[in-house]
Amino acid sequence: MAAFKRPGELSASAFGLSFADRDAGSAAPPPIYNKNERLALTEQLLYLVEAHATTVVVGETGSGKTTQLPQYLHEAGWTGGGRMVACTQPRRVAAMTVAARVAEEMGCRLGQEVGYAIRFEDVSTPGVTRLRFCTDGVLLREMMDDPLLQKYSVVMVDEAHERSLATDVLLGLLKKVQRRRPDLRVIISSATIEAEAIARFFDTSNVRRPVGHVEALPAEGQPPSRSPALMSLEGRMHSVQVHYLETSTSNYLQSAVEAAIAIHKDDQPGDILIFLTGQDECEAAVKLLDEEGRRLQRSRLKWRLQPVALYAGLPATHQLAVFEPAPRGVRKVIAATNIAETSVIAATNIAETSVTLEGIVYVIDSCFAKQRCYNPLTGLESLLIAPISKASAQQRAGRAGRVRPGHCFRLCTEDDYESKLPASTVPEMQRSDLASTVLQLKSLGIDNIMSFEWLAPPPAETMVRALETLHALGALDGDARLARPYGTQMAELPLDPPLARMLLASGQMGCTAEVLTVVAMLRFAVAEGDLISYLNVWKAWEESGRSKKWAIANYVMHRSLLRAADIRNQARLWPRVCAAAWLQAHLRRLGIKPSSALDGASAFDQEALATVRKALAAGLFINAAKLTDELQVKLSDQEDSGASVYRLVRSAGGEAAAAKLRIHHSSVLFRCRPQWVCFYAAEQNDTGWYEMRDILAIESGWLTELAPHMYRLAPVNTQMRR
């Protein structure tokens, strides 16, 4: 393969690497769709928004689209007449930080003309706020009260190319809303790769026009064109030279470490970012680099190597440390998971600001990532290491070009890159459990789920499974319509349907306090330790005069509050406490009174405990499993043997029955081997076993009692079947 070099740029061999060089494919400029070249960019955008119901904006990193576009719209009068401009983000921190920056640029106080809304928090003032930044999930929730989004004149969906579940649902709904509200303008910002597909999706004009066609302005009082406009904004990115392996590697971790060392030896300053798939790999890479670095130092290399790991599970303080610039004479090597792929990395646990990785000049890409897969036949999820998409690889490469021209080393051959990596990542919509999404759509009055227009239709099996799950939980009736009261109540609760169902059951069984705690633990235990949420609880407690009564009523531990008064860095312990108080408010709104089964009872009161367990089982009965006589066969010396085998109860045959389940090692029930269990989550690991997590031991009779529509006693033996 011919090496291609630009003057002044180094080839891979300059780093002592046997990589094939190739000119920066990732830095190739996107196609320009702007037609009216005589108009300034601002005017051009405003023209398109005026003339088209939908405008797709291809904005490169650094184009300022997120912060600038809403301000242009504000200045142009789109926030007049009491209406607002919404700008949605896939992540909470992004919504907060972008709002803060725009408020600063506009010289107003956050929460006044410019505000934001995320879970737990609404920093906006009705009647005053004109630009509202929020997560796409928040806007979806808002649609339950305001299905046509009457409060907004424009909705801008940012980072649509990430194709998160919430973004895809929102785009489908926005298309629907546009039919009823021709005046609504939708702006979608996306990377090049997804832009045309999104534009085609929103095209409801019956005339086939080339993508990017520019319409004339509508006459006064007339609706805009229904064929979308497409426009690109150029960013400030440096070129990135891409290198491929000449022969493929069987150990990308080792290859990554070798590549990093080779770059380091070359002595060109600039930090290195390595993309790996998980925590283990990141830690292993750091260890190897550390050893290698010490060896190099002994050989008197003047640059010191400073390897650090970066993944979401890392304590907040460690995460923040990664962002500190390396001292002079030190080269940082960051071994990171996918967390480093998105443009902005958040350190929410510490501060409400986002941080970007600065100083990266070299990217080493394993070209793999862990991907969630959902199997609708078993209803179980698995996490598999899979090759990333080309779109994803380009995004990763782009991280090398922020400060100056950079290099990206892909740990695969160019042939493999071209032939084995898919063009784009399968949208989350097509590899997730959709029970929650279907419930949300049903509560928005979309009864015919199967004919909903999706940007990427999910597998039919997944839809059927979602309907079955919701029916089993009592959220849908026999005609798949929202059932009262469970369906409407479950839709109100911002939780997975099984968790919502157990909360509702706890109201009837008199143990909301205990179930609230369990749900908060399951859902928020490892979630972000958001300082602001913490402050909300703190403020409410202060306002109550630091009342112990308030703390008890809100399921906040009074002693923790007192301790927190002294110890600020305990904030990480807070989310679950916060979540319980927040869920309690939701229950109150549904008219469910607080109750407790264990209050006053001894901690070992079996009867009281059984009440709580039954309430939990009311949400989990779909995932019931029975102990079998089999013991896991010892397949190899390394493999753990002797683990008990469980089978799903819900299906007598087929794939679900074939699923081999075992209790996860971490479970306290691992050695107990209860006959009957329910579980909240099971994940397939690389040995093919599904490991049950968050397990509850149940009595067999509970299944027929709680879910007679799903389980009945088999006449011959005790085996349950649907």
Residues in the site for DNA, rule: CB under 7 A?
90-93, 118-119, 135, 137-138, 140-141, 164-166, 277-280, 311-313, 337-339, 346, 369-372, 383, 436, 494-496, 523, 526, 528, 640, 664-666, 670-671, 683, 685, 693
Cβ closest to DNA, residue 413 vs residue 436: 436
Question: How many beta carbons lie within 10 A of that of residue 692, not counting itself?
Answer: 23
274, two tokens: 């390595």
> Of 606 and 666, which has the nearer Cβ to DNA?
666
CB 410 within 8 A of CB 365: yes
661-663 and 690-697 as β-strands: parallel, antiparallel, unpaired?
parallel
Residue placing its CB nearer to DNA in the complex, 20 or 143: 143
Measure the CA–CA gap between 448 and 441, rounded to whole angstroms. 9
Nearest distance from C-beta of residue 166 to DNA, angstroms: 6
Identify which of residues 508 and 685 has a Cβ nearer to DNA in the complex.
685
Whether 101 contacts 360, CB under 8 Å:
no
Burial readout 510-542 (b: 16 or more C-beta within 10 A, e: otherwise) = bbbbbbbbbbbebbbeebbbbbebbbbbbeebe
Query: Minimum distance from CB of 419 to DNA (Å)?
Result: 24
- Provide the residue type at 519 as one letter: V
Length of the chain: 722
Q: How many CA atoms lie within 13 A of 550 on its CB side?
A: 13
Q: Between 499 and 622, whose beta carbon lies closer to DNA? A: 499
In angstroms, rounded to a whole number, what is the distance separating the alpha carbons of residues 602 and 582? 27
693/721 with CB nearer DNA: 693
Q: Pick between residue 41 and residue 669 the one whose CB is nearest to DNA.
A: 669
Nearer to DNA by Cβ, of 215 and 496: the residue is: 496
Smallest separation, CB 208 to DNA (Å): 36
Cα distances (Å, whole numbers) of residue 345 to 424, 434, 497, 572: 22, 27, 30, 18
Least distance from DNA to the Cβ atom of residue 507, Å: 19
For residue 37, count other CB atoms closer than 10 A to its CB: 7
Q: How far is the CB of 92 from DNA (least distance, A)?
A: 3
Q: How near is the Cβ of 343 to DNA at its closest, in Å?
A: 13
Collect all residues with Cβ–Cβ distance below 8 Å to 636 and sequence separation of at least 6. none
Q: Do you find a cis peptide bond into 485, omega within 30 degrees of 0?
A: yes
Q: Closer to DNA by CB, 84 or 340: give it.
A: 340
Q: How far is the CB of 441 from DNA (least distance, A)?
A: 13
Backbone torsions φ then ψ of 380, nearest 5 degrees: -115, 155
Q: Which is nearer to DNA, 297 or 687 (CB)?
A: 687
Distance CA 224, CA 217 (A): 7
Residue position matching structure tokens 């003309």: 113
**Pairing state between β 644-648 and 152-157:** unpaired
Cβ 426 to DNA shortest distance, Å: 11
Pairing of β 84-89 and β 152-157? parallel
Position of tokens 């030896």? 265
Q: φ, ψ for residue 543 (rounded to 5)?
A: -65, -25
Q: Dihedral sign for Cα 85, 91, 97, 98, please.
A: negative
**Least distance to DNA from the beta carbon of 276, Å?**
10
Provide, rounded to whole angstroms, the least separation between the CB of residue 670 and DNA. Answer: 6
For the bound state, the minimum distance from the C-beta of residue 252 to DNA, rounded and expressed in Å, comes to: 15
Closer CB to DNA, 9 or 683, in the complex: 683
Q: Which one, of 628, 627, 632, 630, lies nearest residue 643 by Cα?
A: 632
